[in-house]
Amino acid sequence: MTRRLPTATHPLTALVTGASSGIGAELATALAARGCDVVLVARRRDRLEALARRLSGLGVRAHALPCDLTDEAARRDLPHVVADLGLEVSILCNGAGVGFAGEFVTVPDEHRTAVLRLNVEATVDLCGHFVPAMVRRRSGAVLTVCSMLSFVPMPRMATYAATKAALLSFTEALHDELRPHGVAVTALCPGTVPTEFMELAGLGPAIGRMPAWALDDARQVAERGLDALARNRRVVVPSALYRTSVASARLLPRAALFGLLRRGSPFPARWPGASGVQARETAALSAP
Ligand SMILES: NC(=O)c1ccc[n+]([C@@H]2O[C@H](COP(=O)([O-])OP(=O)(O)OC[C@H]3O[C@@H](n4cnc5c(N)ncnc54)[C@H](OP(=O)(O)O)[C@@H]3O)[C@@H](O)[C@H]2O)c1
């Protein structure tokens, strides 16, 4: 890590949300490989503990802290649990996120609310819990996983895209506010990454039809995000393909953009249903 990340003599601690799978698990792995102690947060305890065991093998301390981040009281407890472990969070990676594809009226209320609570409320709240201490120490770093959809309003994924646009706006503003305080803040905006997110979102079949070159690799996304954070880049779109897509989408007049999206949307018109979500909820609840 370069000068932009904390330089304390004791090992740095990174708290990573969404560490039980996908990009979050890769962020935690990459941070541990770079010598950080890691605190792993998500709901599925068994996944977190298995990753913690694996990362301990790299010679760092890795702690599994199961937490439902949509639960405000559980979020409020997190900093105390971390402090009780004798840890000080120097790097916060906001990786946890969900989204559901389908026209707005086909997605059940409770799922739309979960998207808002997890993607926006929990991320802003966790920054509120951990950033003030970074400012006091005049060192720290925050990486928030946004999306290519942070740049584009997306019919059939309207709520998710809106949450990611909000996160990008929040992250860019924090980047500017915290720069004078020695705290790095970066928005990581991946394209399409084949993770469990896609199945849960109802996008499994769409991903299956995409050529391999159009898919981002979760490990590479994580590495590029951390490299950008180390340089305190405001925003990073980790692949050239999606950098071009974002630039084109920003240049196109909205009417033309929506015309293209109407004709070629990869997203289903109806949300395909709750089976994947229920399977994960069950896994999260039944984890010992
Ligand atoms: N995959 C993509 O194409 C893509 C593209 C752009 C951006 N992103 C973003 O990347 C981030 C990571 O997604 P991913 O693709 O790696 O998907 P993923 O493998 O499904 O990871 C999502 C993570 O969020 C956690 N999570 C879900 N609900 C939670 C809750 N209530 N409390 C705590 N943790 C919760 C999940 O763990 P538990 O279920 O164990 O709680 C999991 O660790 C998300 O913010 C997503 O929006 C993904």
User: What crossing angle do the helices spanning 123-137 and 158-178 adopt, rounded to 10°?
Assistant: 10
Q: Ligand 1 pocket, 6 CB below 6 A?
A: no
Q: How far is CA 284 from the centre of its chain?
A: 18
**242 labelled catalytic:** no
**Which residue in 100, 130, 151, 160 is the catalytic one?**
160
Paired tokens of 283: 């896994």
Confidence at residue 277, expressed as pLDDT on a 0 to 100 scale: 63
Cα distance between residue 59 and residue 35, in whole Å:
8
pLDDT in tens, 59-104: 999 999 999 999 999 999 999 999 999 999 999 999 999 999 999 9
**Which residue reads 């990753």 in tokens?**
51
CA 266 to CA 282: how far, in whole Å? 28
Looking at ligand 1, which residue's alpha carbon is closest to its atom 43?
Answer: 18
pLDDT for 270 equals 87
**Residue 12: DSSP 8-state:** P
CB 119 within 8 A of CB 100: no
Query: How far is residue 88's CA from residue 11's CA, in Å, rounded to a whole number?
Result: 10
13-280 fold: Rossmann fold (3.40.50)
Full pLDDT tens readout for the chain, 288 residues: 444 454 445 669 999 999 999 999 999 999 999 999 999 999 999 999 999 999 999 999 999 999 999 999 999 999 999 999 999 999 999 999 999 999 999 998 988 899 999 999 999 999 999 999 999 999 999 999 999 999 999 999 999 999 999 999 999 999 999 999 999 999 999 999 999 999 889 888 888 889 999 999 999 999 999 999 999 999 999 999 999 999 998 899 999 999 998 888 888 888 877 666 666 666 665 555
159 touches ligand 1 (CB under 6 Å): no
List, as one string, the DSSP characters of 89-108. Answer: EEEEEE-------S-GGGS-
Whether residue 50 lies in the annotated active site: no
Displacement of CA 177 from its chain's centroid (Å): 21
Which residue has the least CA distance to atom 34 on ligand 1?
A: 42
Report H helices in 34-181.
45-56, 72-84, 109-115, 123-137, 158-178
Phi, psi for residue 83 in degrees, rounded to 5? -65, -40
| 3-class DSSP state of 40 | strand
> Is any atom of ligand 1 closer than 6 Å to the C-beta of 97?
yes
The residues spanned by each domain of the chain are: 13-280
Cα(11) to ligand 1 centroid in Å equals 27
